Structure 1
Amino acid sequence: MGDNTGIEWTDATWNPVTGCAKVSQGCKHCYAERDWVRLQHLPAYAGREFTDVRTHADRLDQPLRWRRPRRIFVNSMSDLFHPDVSDEFIEEVFAVMALAKQNVFQVLTKRPDRMREHPIFSHSGTCLWVGVRQAAERLFGVDPGPMDKALPNVWLGVSVEDQAAADERIPLLLDTPAAVRWISAEPLLASINLAEHGLHGGPGQLDWVVVGGESGPKARPMHPAWARSLRDQCAAAGVPFLFKQWGEWAPDAAHGIAYEGVCCNWGGDYDNAVERVGKKLAGRLLDGVLHDGYPVASVICFDGRGRAQ
Structure 2
Amino acid sequence: MSAAPQEPPACQGPDPFVNPPGFAVPAHACDTHAHVIGHVNGPADRFPMVANRSYTPPPAPESAYLGMLDSLGMARGVLVQISVYGTDNRCMVESLKAHPDRLRGVAVVAPDVGDEELEALHAAGVRGIRINVLFGGGVAIEEMERLAARVAPLGWHIQLLIDARNLPELGPRMMKLPVEVVFDHMGHMPVSSGVVHPGFQWMLRLLREGKAWVKLSGAYRISQLGAPFHDTLDFARTLVAAAPERCVWGSDWPHVSVEGPMFNTGALLDLLPLWVPEEAVRNRILVDNPARLYGFATATAG
Q: Using structure 1 for the length normalisation, give the TM-score.
A: 0.49
Larger radius of gyration: 1
Report 1 or 2 for greater relative contact order, CA contacts < 8 Å, sequence distance ≥ 6. Answer: 2
Q: Using structure 2 for the length normalisation, give the TM-score.
A: 0.49
Structure (1/2) with the larger helix percentage: 2
